[in-house]
Amino acid sequence: MSDTSGNLLFYSDGEYVWNALHDTMPNGFIDGIQDAQWAQQSVIAIPDPGNADQYYIFTNRGSHQFWEQGIQYHIVDMSLDNGFGDVIQTNIDLYTTPSMQMCGVRHGNSCDYWLITHDRYTNEYVSFLINDAGVDHTPVLSPSGVEHAPYYINNSSGAGGQFLKASPQGDKLVSTMRWYWQNTGKDDELHFSSFDKFSGVVSGSFIVQLDSTSDGSAFSPSGELFYAIHGSQLAKLAQFELSPFDSISVNMSKSTLTTSASHVFATDMRIGPDGKLYGGNPRAEQWGIDSLPVIHVPDAPGTACMFDYWGQAVNGVMFHWYMPSYVEDFAAPMAPAHVCNVGIESANEMGLPVFRLLEDELIIQNLPAQLIGKISIHIYNMLGQVCTEFNAAPVDRSLRVNVSSLSSGLYIVGIIDDKQNRIVQGKIVKP
């Protein structure tokens, strides 16, 4: 499946991904995950910065019984097979000893990407650069000071690192560690860290202890709040404030929003295109409920976030455990603007443009100084359709555009120069 920007999205379910590629693409055989032995974070698609039609699909063979492949990647070209795509390279080995964890973050230059995992035997985070030259197989290693145990301990699966979540801004990481149910004598933990999206270095790790976790966790769109499910007897939804971002402050900020004796709030959560947090819950299928858990205002502290156990109907679909994996800033309304230095000088010289919505007026500031003459502005809806387009001439590196014709929702703004190079892209949300 794909989002409105054409980005490939896959559920964190290895068998689902293998079936999807195998059944829909002529050369879609991927041998890293086909036998239903997968990691919690088994797959993620990341765009190729050097080719708008191609994606890298990273797969993580994280089952406790089958470690052979580790992390591999595969290349899909969506221009093939009449636009339905085809796999052009498969099963390229990248890293042999990952934990179950794998997430994607946009590089600080807003064009390239990082794939981040953790070594399953050491205290090192592992970051791989993805740029227009391809995937760099030499990782950036960051001793985090916190060891991850192997997923398979004493004939019991599930110990050690489960999920790795990044903030939409790409500056923070949280690793979910499950120890409690494996009789390790340790409580479950959240490992918070800072991430440098220019260098790929992870630093400043600290621990928040929980009695037990149930996988479900997520950053708010602003990256200033974090949600986690925990509880060995009662399932609890906790919220943490991340400013300031240090051990004492984050530990003290914990607030419990709700508890349940019957089921967890969600076993996984992700930011939706409308800025809400959506979750998966296996009890929905068990109880015949065709709805998803929702946090309606995830950047609001405390109960003002408006959590709702079954807040979003999905028309007969019984959702199960996990949400789709994607590069963390793709779905967040407050994500940084996308700037790729195509046809102009480096992004550092350009600076990052700012998109603001003031009632019915879209204000674009800090446009690249190299833009001379007219530019074309396209505004796309969530189906990838052009809602409006027009030409304009920047004044003092800024533009004001009337968008009163747009209804409420999330939109993508694309700016094209007179050489037809797409050089600026951003997101806006109209209330």
Tell me the CATH number at 397.
Answer: 2.60.40.3080
Q: What is the mean pLDDT of residues 281-310?
A: 83
Higher pLDDT, 33 or 290: 290
384 lies in the same domain as 318? no
312 lies in the same domain as 417? no
Domain boundary among 325, 360, 391: 325
Residue 104 and residue 167 in contact, taking contact as beta carbons nearer than 8 Å: no
Q: Calculate ∠ Cα 125-130-131, nearest 5°.
A: 145
The count of structural domains within the chain is 2
| Residue 392 placed within a domain | yes
Assess whether pLDDT exceeds 80 at residue 225: yes
Q: What is the largest CA-CA distance in the chain?
A: 67
362 lies in the same domain as 426? yes
Domain boundary among 264, 295, 325: 325
Beta bridge partners, 412, equal 380, 427
Going by C-alpha positions, the residue among 105, 225, 218 that lies closest to residue 170 is: 105
**Size of the chain, expressed as the number of residues it contains:** 431
312 lies in the same domain as 257? yes
| Residue 5 placed within a domain | no
71 lies in the same domain as 187? yes
CATH code where residue 236 lies: 2.120.10
| Residue 1 placed within a domain | no
| Residue 335 placed within a domain | no
277 lies in the same domain as 395? no
- Percentage of the residues of the chain whose pLDDT score is greater than 70: 70
The two structure tokens encoding residue 294: 């929702």
196 lies in the same domain as 83? yes
388 lies in the same domain as 278? no
| Residue 331 placed within a domain | no
140 lies in the same domain as 263? yes
| Residue 312 placed within a domain | yes
What domain range is 397 assigned to? 342-430
161 lies in the same domain as 254? yes
Query: In the structure, what pLDDT confidence band is assigned to residue 199 with cuts at 50, 70 and 90?
Result: very high
Q: Is the pTM of this model over 0.95?
A: no
Handedness of CA 402, 406, 411, 416 (dihedral sign): negative
Assess whether pLDDT exceeds 90 at residue 155: no
What CA–CA distance (Å, rounded) separates 18 from 38? 11
| Residue 332 placed within a domain | no
21 lies in the same domain as 139? yes
Higher pLDDT, 315 or 49: 49
| Residue 215 placed within a domain | yes
- Percentage of the residues of the chain whose pLDDT score is greater than 90: 23
SS3 content of the chain, % helix, strand, coil (to 5): 10, 45, 45
